[in-house]
Amino acid sequence: MNSPFKQLLVSAALITPLLLPVSAQAALAYVSNEKDNSLSIIDLDSFAVVDTIEVGQRPRGITFNHDYSLLYICASDDDTVQVMDVATQRIVASLPSGEDPEQFALHPDGDRLYISNEDSALVTVVNPLTHLVTGQIDVGVEPEGMAVSPDGKLVVNTSETTSMLHWIDTSTNQLIHNTKVDQRPRYVQFSKDGNRLWASAEIGGTVSVIDVASKEELHKIRFNIRGIHRDKVQPVGVKLTSDGRYAFVALGPANHVAVVDANTWEVLDYLLVGRRVWHMALTPDEKFLLTTNGISGDVSVIDIERMKVTKSIKVGRYPWGLAIKPD
């Protein structure tokens, strides 16, 4: 029974286990492609697209649950948040998200998803475990950015047309404060210690650093890139490194990511990435930053130690959101 055919089978059996775990063990980046109704999956060892999954219409915000078994996907044009089983890549549920969900944030307890309903000036609170809506909060026109404080006590939502940050008490689902910021706030992120909130204003062209205790602005960061008119510098995504050292700001149609000293708020550098850069994510080891570039349809990889863009990865049409699953 020493046929060449059998030998082939044996070697295949030997090779296969070597091949498969690569994608199973490496950290993966999930990218939502807004105009392709799909997710691209990038292997973060090889920085190559290893899979593309079809999902609902106009996927934008995506985020994992805490054990990375489920991925929540805002399928904006389906008016739902889809729940994908990560292991099988199947959509296992659709959450009642309210109309036109765009961005959302998961409470540290894992039982509350705060969803921006861009078309109806609402924040919808859904329990992703029971699939029940537990609250709806009136906010300004075109709610967008959403963040939960690290201690889980506060949720902040931005409304793009009203240009406010809306502060919501998670224990009562009541609005407790509104902070006016520059035009078209898009994204908010808390610092790791929960003392600072960073908020980008796309049309204002600024990032406000807010003191969480007083809810007052401490500083406003402005950007100035040689050769690009200030009106075209439009901050959207913000990412902070957990060592508190850097803040990265995606500058939209300026096609650059600003590197900001998170303590002095000084802009250190501008890195050229793909066209219309919107959202970003850090790899689990925080050695790399990934950006979605909508118009060029790719993801740029920034090596943080060298502060250089090292690679761009072609994904689907209009990549929008990013979520990273550690190995």
Partner 1 sequence: MLLSCWLLSVTTMVNAATPAADTQSIQIGYLELQHETPPLLSNVLPDPQDNALQGALLGISDNNAGGRFLGLAYSLEQARSYDEAELLAALHRFQQQGIQLLLVNAPAQTLTTMANQYPELLFFNVGSYDDSLRLNQCVANVLHTLPSRAMLTDAMAQWLIRKKLKKWLLISGTRPEDKDYANAVRRSAKRFGGKIVAAKDWTFDSDLRRSAQTEVPLFTQTKEYDAVVVADEVGDFGEFLLYNTWYPRPVTGTQGLKPVGWHRVIEQWGAAQLQSRFDRQASRWMTDKDYAAWAAIRSIGESLSHQIPYSATDIRSHLLSSRFELAGFKGRKLTYRHWNGQLRQPIALVHPRALVSQSPQEGYLHPYTELDTLGFDQPESQCRLVDQAD
Closer Cβ to partner 1, 226 or 229, answer by number: 229
Could you tell me the end-to-end alpha-carbon distance of the chain, in angstroms, rounded to an integer?
Answer: 41
Among the residue ranges 8-16, 107-115, 182-190, 299-307, the one whose residues contact partner 1 (CB under 8 A): 182-190
Q: What whole-number distance in Å separates Cα of residue 147 and Cα of residue 189? A: 6
Q: What whole-number distance in Å separates Cα of residue 220 and Cα of residue 53? A: 40
The H or E element spanning position 270 is: strand 267-272
CB 210, CB 227: distance < 8 Å: no
Q: What residues numbered 2-61 form the site for partner 1, per CB under 8 A?
A: none
Q: What whole-number distance in Å separates Cα of residue 176 and Cα of residue 220? A: 23
Q: What whole-number distance in Å separates Cα of residue 310 and Cα of residue 128? A: 37
Given 23, 136, 178, 312, the residue binding partner 1 (CB under 8 A): 178
Q: What residues numbered 185-214 form the site for partner 1, per CB under 8 A?
A: 202-205
Closer Cβ to partner 1, 56 or 253, answer by number: 253
**122 alpha carbon, distance to own chain's centre:** 20
Tell me the closest approach of the beta carbon of residue 257 to partner 1, in angstroms. 20
Q: What residues numbered 240-259 form the site for partner 1, per CB under 8 A?
A: 253
CB 278, CB 299: distance < 8 Å: no
DSSP β-bridge partners for residue 267: 260
Closer Cβ to partner 1, 36 or 144, answer by number: 144
Tell me the closest approach of the beta carbon of residue 74 to partner 1, in angstroms. 14
Asked if 138 touches partner 1 (CB under 8 A), the answer is yes
Given 86, 93, 175, 228, the residue binding partner 1 (CB under 8 A): 175
148 contacts: CB under 8 Å, gap ≥ 6: 105, 106, 107, 108, 114, 154, 155, 170, 190
Asked if 140 touches partner 1 (CB under 8 A), the answer is yes
Closer Cβ to partner 1, 230 or 308, answer by number: 230
- DSSP SS3 for 236: coil
Tell me the closest approach of the beta carbon of residue 203 to partner 1, in angstroms. 4
Among the residue ranges 8-16, 116-124, 190-198, 254-262, the one whose residues contact partner 1 (CB under 8 A): 116-124
Closer Cβ to partner 1, 128 or 274, answer by number: 274
Closest alpha carbon to 324 in 38, 33, 40: 40
- Contact footprint for partner 1 (CB under 8 A): 118-119, 121, 138, 140-142, 159-164, 166, 174-178, 180, 182-184, 202-205, 215, 229, 231-232, 234, 253
